[in-house]
Amino acid sequence: MCGCSEQEHKSADVHEEHVHAHSYTAYTHNAEFFMQHEGLEVGKKACITLYATALSDFKPMCIDEATALLRVGGNSVSVTVEAHSDGMFHFELTPETAGDGMLYMTVGEETAHFDVCVIEHGEEHAHGHGHSHEGHSHSHGESHAGHDHSAHSHGHSHAPHPGHGMETVGKPGDVTLTKEQSWKIDFATEVATESDFGGSVKVVAKVESLPGDFTTIVATTSGKVQFAGNVVAGTKVSVNEPLFYLDGSDVTDNDAAVKFAEAESNYQLAKADYERKKNLFIDKIVSERDYQAAEALYRQAEARFESMKRSFGEGKVTLKPAISGYVAAVLVANGDYVQPGTPLATIQRDGGVNLVAELPVRYAQMLQNVATVNVETAQGVYDVDALGGACVVGSAVNECNMLPVTVSACGVPGVVPGSIVTLYLSCKSDSGHCVVVPRTALVEEMGCMFVFVQNNPISFEKRSVTVGETDARYVQITEGVEAGERVVSKGGVILKLSQGAAALDPHAGHVH
């Protein structure tokens, strides 16, 4: 466990007797501290091992050094060491005073403190330091320790002050997973909490674009369609980028070039007449009414000419998208003859979406009290509130006698219009609180549900649970887990596969 010399080990225990290693656990706001030592005696060098885990990803904290400070009464002993490996530190510390004290561990900006007892040389350590560790309801260690690292707060936590740790003991039959092993896999734990979760409705929804996020390019005149490049569904486009040309040269009555020439001629004629009458009006030769009529004709001819000028070039009408995005659908073929107003293509831009669903009328009352909406996709589960969305429930049934429900979101990762997702519409309970754990904590075996409850960071108890409803992220536990206990939220399947291995001794962490 620590770097004690072989000679010191033999002199302390010639007959290789079993030596119990005390295990302690503490949680700060950002880290898990798991400490082990063989006992603290006055005048005897104690070997202490510390495992420091970052709660953000449950990987080792990559800090170069750590400090241990032992305070008993008015006496203090401190030692600073370099990391043995990422997240692991070995300390050798010699207590100078007997009695109850506090051991402080500092790694980077995180500090945890542990209640410890230093005995006189030759005395025996009282296991548990005066605390009962049988059962989960009164454990002073992991199940009620420190920080509730929950990404979604459901209620009240029963944890003590962050950073305060005590001795934590495994049980017979526990599944063991060393810190080195858990650091190498996708592993995490989370505290079971109380919630006012009152049930949810699961429904399939279709992803649709927001009305303002797509537009249709239509023909502005008659003519044959010519594609401006490889225009296919999915093509990226930008504003004012030519997509289609309309050529009316083969159709005499609808020749765009002729119409453009007419518009230009009318514009020039109207402009000349307006300027002439403007000067005459100044000299009061023409009436104000004639002047205003000439100005109106000029403005109309100018607007028509400028409009045609923007889209006309090289004898063809150019059609461009009004928004940047991508081509959602091409509605014509190259060479088709179209009339004014004929849709040519739809343009879609990335942005918000509507998730459209229908529910039976019996859910009308429940839908008036929706508190949270979660979206489940192949990529994961997302909170609509976090995506800047909202839920709109129809006030009347549709033609299918169903209640329409529309959930808007600024964007759901990994989904595109037309795809299908699952919605969980959840409401609050009026009857009290319930215990919830992450849905990923559930492990199924032979049709029964289990979770792994952490007794300390390397010792996990497989426990049968009865589950209630879920909101896709969390699930109700009606029996089997109490609020404040810490459960494995990632990596439960690995522990399940490890059940065949030897169970962890209740005095886990011993050395010889």
3-state secondary structure 115-170: EEEEECCCCCCCHHHHCCCCCCCCCCCHHHCCCCCCCCCCCCCCCCCCCEEEECCC
Question: What per-residue confidence (pLDDT) applies to 158?
Answer: 43
Instruction: Report strand pairing: 110-119 vs 164-167.
Output: parallel
* Structural element, H or E, at residue 258: helix 256-282
Is the backbone of residue 277 left (phi > 0), alpha (psi -120 to 50) or beta?
alpha
Residue 457 lies in a domain: no
pLDDT in tens, 90-100: 999 999 999 99
Q: Can you tell me which residue has the tokens 């005590």?
A: 166
**Contacts of residue 233, Cβ cutoff 8 Å, sequence gap at least 6:** 327, 328, 329, 330
Residue 366 lies in a domain: yes
DSSP state of 377: E
CB atoms within 10 A of CB 309: 13
Cβ atoms of 387 and 410 within 8 Å: the answer is yes
Residue 254 lies in a domain: yes
Q: State whether 11 and 154 are in the same domain.
A: yes
How far apart (Å, rounded) are the C-alpha atoms in residues 137 and 144? 9
Residue 413 lies in a domain: yes
How far apart (Å, rounded) are the C-alpha atoms in residues 283 and 31? 89
Cβ atoms of 342 and 252 within 8 Å: the answer is no
Question: What per-residue confidence (pLDDT) applies to 141?
Answer: 38
For residue 284, the domain's CATH number is 1.10.287.470
Residue 462 lies in a domain: no
Q: State whether 12 and 40 are in the same domain.
A: yes
Q: State whether 223 and 282 are in the same domain.
A: yes
Question: What per-residue confidence (pLDDT) applies to 391?
Answer: 85
How far apart (Å, rounded) are the C-alpha atoms in residues 53 and 183? 8
Domain count, the chain: 3
Q: State whether 232 and 167 are in the same domain.
A: no
User: How far is the CA of 213 from the CAs of 239, 295, 332, 418, in angstroms?
Assistant: 14, 39, 21, 14
Q: State whether 249 and 302 are in the same domain.
A: yes
Cβ atoms of 424 and 202 within 8 Å: the answer is yes
Determine if the pTM surpasses 0.75.
no
pLDDT in tens, 269-316: 888 888 888 888 887 888 888 888 888 888 888 887 776 665 555 557
Residue 468 lies in a domain: no
**Angle, helix 288-311 to helix 256-282, in steps of 10 degrees:** 150
Question: What per-residue confidence (pLDDT) applies to 137?
Answer: 38
Residue 493 lies in a domain: no
Q: State whether 315 and 374 are in the same domain.
A: no
For residue 389, the domain's CATH number is 2.40.30.170
- Residue 459: burial class (beta carbons within 10 Å; 0-12, 13-18, 19+): buried
For residue 87, give its domain range: 6-175
Residue 20 lies in a domain: yes
User: How far from the centroid of its chain's Cα atoms is residue 155's Cα?
Assistant: 19
- The pLDDT tens digits along the chain (512 residues) read 455 444 444 434 434 444 468 899 999 999 999 999 988 999 999 999 999 999 999 999 999 999 999 999 889 999 999 999 999 999 999 999 999 999 999 999 999 999 999 998 766 655 444 343 333 433 333 433 333 433 343 433 344 567 898 889 989 889 999 999 999 999 999 999 998 887 888 999 999 888 878 889 998 877 889 898 899 988 899 888 889 988 766 555 555 566 667 777 888 888 888 888 888 888 788 888 888 888 888 888 888 777 666 555 555 778 888 888 889 889 999 989 888 889 999 988 877 888 999 999 888 888 888 888 999 988 889 888 888 888 888 778 888 889 999 988 887 887 888 889 999 998 887 766 889 999 999 999 888 999 999 999 999 999 999 999 898 899 999 999 999 999 999 999 999 988 755 444 444 444 44
Question: What per-residue confidence (pLDDT) applies to 358?
Answer: 92
Q: State whether 119 and 75 are in the same domain.
A: yes
Q: State whether 206 and 224 are in the same domain.
A: no
